[in-house]
Amino acid sequence: MAHPSVPVPPGDPVDTLLANVAARRDELVALTQALVRIPTVNPPGDAYEACARRLGERLAARGFAVEYVRAHGAPGDS
């Protein structure tokens, strides 16, 4: 789905993707920085829930249905 402020030009889908990424660069850098700040240390897989919730909130705000499924018995029980 295109970002609302970026017109989707006809043509090469890779060019369309790159145009959308370029238009949202600051937003994408901020998201990456926020995710990197979450200490999801491996092993054992600490703070996975915090990371999943951060992404889930972002997706839910954009209309996606979000479900969190705990991996019971997995290393770190994330």
What are the extents of the domains in the chain? 7-37, 41-78
Give 6-61 pLDDT, tens digit per residue: 666 678 899 889 999 999 999 999 999 999 999 988 777 788 889 999 999 999 99
pLDDT at 2: 52
Any residues with CB less than 8 A from the CB of 78 and at least 6 apart, and which? 45, 48, 49, 70, 71
How far, in Å, CA of 32 to CA of 41, rounded? Answer: 16
Q: For residue 5, name the pLDDT band (cuts at 50, 70, 90).
A: low
pLDDT at 6: 63
pLDDT at 47: 86
How far, in Å, CA of 20 to CA of 16, rounded? Answer: 6
- To which residue do tokens 């030009």 refer? 9
Any residues with CB less than 8 A from the CB of 74 and at least 6 apart, and which? 45
